[in-house]
Every structure is written in C-alpha cells, then in structure tokens.
C-alpha cells in the first residue's frame, strides 16, 4: 500500500457519507477523537471481532473472555503506575493557546523519532530547530507532562476519584483471582477482553488512528515463569513465516524486514520466548486474513527507550499505510509487574497453585486496536475509478452482508419468491433484501458497502428454479440452480472456491438457450 496511491480524505468522506464511521455528536460540532460507527461500520467491526475471537479465544482451550467496568477507582491506577507515568509532553502556543504534543512537533520538523525524549531534550530541540506554533507561528511554552486519563468523581457527594480505563488490561489483572478460581484455570491460561479504552490525547489525529475513545481487543496470557519458553502448541505455528525488524537492524539502519519462521526466530534469540513468538505468528495469520499485503507489515522490536520499565520485550505490529506507518498491535512481556503491584497495593494474594506451590505468573500481552485495524481494512479495500461509484473489496467473510437478494421487478410474483429465498438464506448467512430502484442501482449500492454477492430472482426463476449470482469484484453474473445456491455461496464466502471454479462447476445456461441444464 504505497503512500499517495490512496486519497485518504476522499475515503474519509465516503466513510462519513455512507454512515460507516463519522464524528460523534456531529450536529453539535462533535469532539475531536470520538467517533460513531453506523450500521455498516458496526457490522464490519463485528466481523473483525468475530475473526479475532475465532482465532484467539475459540481456537484455544484455555482463554476466557470477560467484560469489565470502564470506570475504575483511583487506587487501581496508583498501583498500575498510570497516575504517575501515563502522560505525554504538552506544549502550548503563547499566542493562540493551541495545544500540541511536543514530540510530534519535533518529529514533524526533524523527521526523527522523538517519543522517548525527556522534557529537557524536547525543549532543547524546540529551541535548536526554532519550532513555532503550526497554526499561527507563535512561540511555544516549555513542555510539561500531561496525564492522559479522564478523571471523574463517583457518587452524589463526590469525593471518590475514579478514572475511565486507559487500557482494557487492568480489569483482567483485577479479575485474575476470581476468574482463575471460578474457571478452575491452570497455567498457562489467558483472560481476554474486547472493550472501550479512553485516553485524553493532546492531539487526536488521522481520523481513527489516534482517538480519545477507542476499542481494544486484549489478552493477558498467564504463564509459569519457568514455562515461558515452552508453549504446548508451539509446533503448530513454528513454521509460520514472519517479518521482523530487530533492535540491531534498527541500529544498523536496516529497513527491510527479516523474513524468518517463528521457530527460527526463537532459536536465534530474536524473539525472547515461545509464548511471545506464538502470538506474533498468529497475528501474522490474522493480518493475512484481513487481506493486508504481506510487504506492508512487519513486527518491530521496540528500542530500549521505547519499552516500558515493566516490560522485558515489546514487538509492535506495524502496517505501512497512506498515512505512514501505524502501530496496530502491541505485544509486551509484562512479566509479573501488574499482579505483583496490585497484590501489594490491595493486600490481596494474587497467586495460582502450580504443582502444589503458589506462583505469581508471568504475562504475555497481545493488545490489538480494533479501530486502527478496521480503518486500515477500509483503506486497503477501497476501490475507485473503475466504476461510476466507489466500492469496497472486502474479503467476503468480513463484509457487512454476505449476499443481497433482489427480485428483478416489483411485480409478477417475483418479490414473493425472492422474499421466500431471502428468509431461507438468512437462516445461515448474513443476507439483506432489496427491491427498491433499478437492478443496476441495487448492485451499485451493494458494491458501495462491500457486499460480495447479489442473487437475483427473475422470470426464468419462475420457469426453471434458477437464479443469477453477481460477483462484486468482476461484476460478472452466472446462473445457478437454487438447489446449488447454498453450497455455491458457502464455497465463495469461505474462499473455498474461486469465482472461476464456481463458474466451471455450477453455472447453468439461461433457459433462453436450454432449460436450466448444467454446462
Ligand atoms: N495494554 C497495552 C496497551 O494498551 P498500547 O500500545 O498503548 O498498549 C495497544 O495500545 C493498541 O491499542 C495499539 O497498538 C493501538 O492499536 C491501540 N491504540 C492505542 N492508543 C490508541 C488511540 N489513541 N486511538 C486508537 N487506537 C489506539
């Protein structure tokens, strides 16, 4: 996905116009960094969540999903370190009073990473590079730390501070004891959560990339510290090719990712343990399911100065997009940091029995940002220029609907037959019915929201029980017998057969030539 090939502003407008993703409270001018997802956006996001659940929860024996509270009391964040360290460097324009992230301004001016520079270093760069307010060229204040959490008080009389969670992970650590007991969990096991997180970003930007309210899909995998390099199912992914950029490669300015298998990366010590490599390999498979071109993503080992003090290793999944490189998944080896801190602050034992001894497990954390993944999916699949309308080439299993059912005309009994077929199809597939406007317009509307197949009931259906299927990508149509329709759609939606293969095996000729016989 080379930069400048895609017009991002144009796609953002399409996302708004089709109510896929648009600013929240739009009629009041909205709040920067908060978005609503309309019916189509919600359906597509649902599909991405289901893919994630399929691959990371249901495919595993021992990962339990929870849904935790969004508002948590102050002591949680005292213990987790967020109150003291979860901040970004803020500068303000002395003239127009606009606020900016100091590190972003320095990066935009120098072209070098600045997210790990100390306040004094950032100030030094601002002076040295004579960086001014991007809006009015006014002078900037000295940077100060700004805590990103949203604070509130609980109860009618207030007095009890609480914060909106800045990551879903904290509920998981807080619920570790209860969930492990209730589920009779034994190490290794995981707790997963999909939910909203909140960060009062100084400068939300790039549409869904840096938001103030966003959705994370996180897993905390609890592992015996001595078993961290011994994943029971490692053999299932050890041959998975991955693309890595290690710290050493970054020091040597090597930009081309190293192509290596997950097994070999652990053997060579490039990834610190099997549990971390297991998730990196599965994330590579997940990104392939999304249809992101292979050359456009890699896993980058964070530099020492980018790595949180509690983490023994971090690998981010980064994707090259028209807006530059975007981190979509963070993988961290959080060790026993969170459980130990919460145990100490809450005076609660957070251990689990392993071979009759209490253990504080270590944690591997794959943390996915749904909004960034969803946005990149829409950017990558956007198509313009080949038709009078723009459309989304979504993989069929991620499309909002698998199939649209249309009667050719609104008369002569066609709607009744079409409705009956629609009712049958929707029992197994995500189907939508449409009888409004010309058939060409209905196909165009299907394309516009990425529906991969449209089934049309016409006069021949009444004669010989055949229907047409239109393929979104080629715009071709074939005629199939209704008895074959379910099988054909299942094969196409699950990518078990190509359109060409379906044409070869299931297409029948029009009754104008024969009576619905297979070719
Ligand atoms: N529990 C670990 C954690 O929260 P993170 O790297 O801060 O780690 C994980 O966040 C993922 O959440 C990121 O890779 C990104 O996809 C998403 N994310 C973080 N901040 C975001 C924001 N302001 N807007 C949208 N997505 C964000």
State how far Cα 231 lies from the chain centre: 25
Note whether residue 386 is domain-resident. Answer: no
Q: Given 129, 147, 165, which residue is the final one in a domain?
A: 147
Distance CA(62)–CA(65), nearest Å, equals: 10
pLDDT of residue 1: 54
Model pTM score: 0.95
CATH of the domain at 287: 3.30.930.10
Residues of the chain under the 70 pLDDT cut: 1-5, 512-519
Note whether residue 513 is domain-resident. Answer: no
Total structural domains within the chain: 3
pLDDT of residue 427: 97
Please tell me whether residues 215 and 328 are part of one structural domain: yes
pLDDT of residue 434: 98
Q: Which atom of ligand 1 is nearest to the CA of 211?
A: 24
Selection from 488, 486, 481 nearest residue 511 by Cα = 481
Note whether residue 48 is domain-resident. Answer: yes
Please tell me whether residues 236 and 123 are part of one structural domain: no
With the most atoms of ligand 1 within 8 angstroms of its CB, the residue from 369, 374, 376 to mutate is: 369
pLDDT of residue 495: 92
Selection from 377, 323, 328, 393 nearest residue 5 by Cα = 323
Using CB distances shorter than 6 Å, the residues near ligand 1 are 167, 169, 199, 201, 210-211, 214, 216, 218, 327-330, 365, 367, 369, 371-372
Please tell me whether residues 200 and 252 are part of one structural domain: yes
Please tell me whether residues 155 and 282 are part of one structural domain: yes
Distance CA(258)–CA(315), nearest Å, equals: 14
Note whether residue 387 is domain-resident. Answer: no
Please tell me whether residues 363 and 214 are part of one structural domain: yes
Residue 310: CB atoms within 10 Å: 18
Q: Whose CA is nearest to atom 21 of ligand 1?
A: 210
Please tell me whether residues 260 and 164 are part of one structural domain: yes
List Cβ neighbours of 132 (8 Å cut-off, separation of 6 or more): 138, 139, 140
Angle at which helix 8-17 crosses helix 370-381, to 10 degrees, equals 110
First to last CA, the chain: 40
Note whether residue 453 is domain-resident. Answer: yes
With the most atoms of ligand 1 within 8 angstroms of its CB, the residue from 204, 327, 333 to mutate is: 327
Q: How far is the CA of 277 from the centre of ligand 1 (A)?
A: 20
Q: Which tens digits make up the pLDDT trace of 309-348?
A: 889 999 999 999 988 899 999 999 999 999 999 999 999 9
Q: How far is the CA of 217 from the centre of ligand 1 (A)?
A: 10
Please tell me whether residues 332 and 481 are part of one structural domain: no
Alpha-carbon Rg of the chain, whole angstroms? Answer: 26
Q: Given 125, 147, 169, which residue is the final one in a domain?
A: 147
Q: How far is the CA of 345 from the centre of ligand 1 (A)?
A: 25
Q: Whose CA is nearest to atom 6 of ligand 1?
A: 330
Q: How far is the CA of 125 from the centre of ligand 1 (A)?
A: 27
Q: Whose CA is nearest to atom 5 of ligand 1?
A: 330
Please tell me whether residues 209 and 76 are part of one structural domain: yes
Question: Could you give phi then psi for residue 276, rounded to 5 degrees?
Answer: -65, -45
pLDDT of residue 3: 45
CATH of the domain at 99: 3.30.40.230
Note whether residue 389 is domain-resident. Answer: no
Please tell me whether residues 316 and 211 are part of one structural domain: yes
CATH of the domain at 447: 3.40.50.800
Note whether residue 314 is domain-resident. Answer: yes
With the most atoms of ligand 1 within 8 angstroms of its CB, the residue from 372, 374, 375, 377 to mutate is: 372
Q: State which residues form the domain around 223.
A: 3-86+148-379
Please tell me whether residues 446 and 472 are part of one structural domain: yes
Q: Whose CA is nearest to atom 17 of ligand 1?
A: 369
Q: Which atom of ligand 1 is nearest to the CA of 204?
A: 23
Q: Whose CA is nearest to atom 4 of ligand 1?
A: 167
Q: Which tens digits make up the pLDDT trace of 201-251?
A: 998 989 999 999 999 999 999 999 999 999 999 999 999 999 999 999 999
Please tell me whether residues 309 and 429 are part of one structural domain: no
The DSSP symbol for 210 reads B
Distance CA(167)–CA(203), nearest Å, equals: 18
Note whether residue 518 is domain-resident. Answer: no
Q: Which residues are paired to 91 by β-bridges?
A: 100
Q: Given 379, 407, 423, which residue is the final one in a domain?
A: 379
| 283 sits in which H/E element | helix 274-290
Please tell me whether residues 122 and 100 are part of one structural domain: yes
């Amino acid at each position: 996905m080379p930069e400048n090939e895609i017009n991002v502003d144009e796609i953002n407008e399409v996302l708004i116009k089709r109510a896929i993703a648009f600013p929240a409270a739009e009629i009041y001018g909205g709040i920067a960094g908060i978005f609503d997802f309309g019916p189509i956006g919600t359906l597509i996001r649902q599909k991405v969540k289901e893919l994630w659940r399929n691959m990371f929860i249901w495919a595993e024996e021992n990962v339990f999903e929870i849904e935790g509270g969004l508002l948590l009391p102050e002591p949680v964040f005292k213990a987790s370190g967020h109150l003291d360290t979860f901040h970004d460097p803020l500068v303000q324009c002395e003239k127009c009073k606009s606020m900016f992230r100091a590190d972003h301004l320095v990066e935009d001016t120098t072209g070098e990473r600045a997210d790990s520079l100390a306040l004094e270093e950032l100030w030094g760069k601002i002076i040295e590079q004579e960086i001014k307010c991007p809006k009015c060229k006014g002078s900037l204040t000295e940077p100060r730390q700004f805590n990103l959490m949203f604070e509130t008080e609980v109860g009618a009389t207030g007095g009890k501070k609480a914060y909106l969670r800045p990551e879903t992970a904290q509920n998981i650590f807080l619920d570790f004891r209860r969930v492990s007991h209730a589920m009779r969990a034994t190490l290794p096991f995981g707790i997963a959560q999909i939910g909203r997180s909140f960060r009062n970003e100084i400068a939300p930007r790039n549409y869904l990339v840096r938001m103030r309210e966003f959705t994370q899909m996180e897993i905390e995998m609890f592992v015996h510290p001595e078993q961290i390099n011994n994943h029971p199912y490692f053999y299932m992914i050890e041959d998975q090719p991955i693309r890595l950029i290690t710290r050493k490669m970054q020091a040597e300015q090597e930009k081309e990712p190293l192509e290596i298998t997950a097994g070999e990366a652990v053997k060579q010590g490039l990834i610190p343990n099997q549990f971390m490599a297991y998730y990196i390999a599965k994330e590579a498979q997940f990104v392939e399911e999304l249809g992101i071109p292979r050359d456009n993503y890699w896993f980058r080992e964070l530099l020492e100065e980018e790595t949180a003090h509690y983490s023994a290793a971090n690998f981010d999944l980064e994707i090259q997009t028209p807006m530059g490189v975007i981190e979509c998944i963070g993988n961290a080896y959080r060790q026993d940091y969170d459980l130990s801190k919460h145990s100490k602050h809450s005076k609660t034992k957070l251990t689990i029995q392993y071979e009759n001894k209490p253990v504080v497990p270590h944690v591997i954390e794959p943390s996915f940002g749904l909004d960034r993944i969803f946005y990149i999916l829409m950017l990558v699949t956007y198509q313009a220029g080949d038709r009078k309308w723009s459309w989304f080439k979504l993989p069929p299993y991620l499309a909002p609907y698998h199939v649209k059912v249309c009667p050719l005309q609104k008369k002569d009994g066609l709607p009744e037959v079409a409705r009956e077929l629609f009712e049958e199809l929707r029992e197994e597939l995500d189907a939508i019915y449409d009888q409004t406007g010309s058939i060409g317009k209905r196909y165009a509307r299907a394309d516009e929201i990425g529906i991969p197949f449209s089934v049309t009931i016409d006069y021949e259906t009444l004669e010989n029980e055949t229907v047409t299927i239109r393929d979104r990508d080629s715009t071709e149509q074939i005629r199939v017998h209704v008895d074959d329709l379910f099988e054909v759609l299942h094969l196409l939606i699950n990518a078990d057969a190509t359109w060409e293969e379906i044409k070869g095996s299931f297409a029948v000729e029009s009754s104008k030539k024969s009576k619905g016989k297979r070719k």
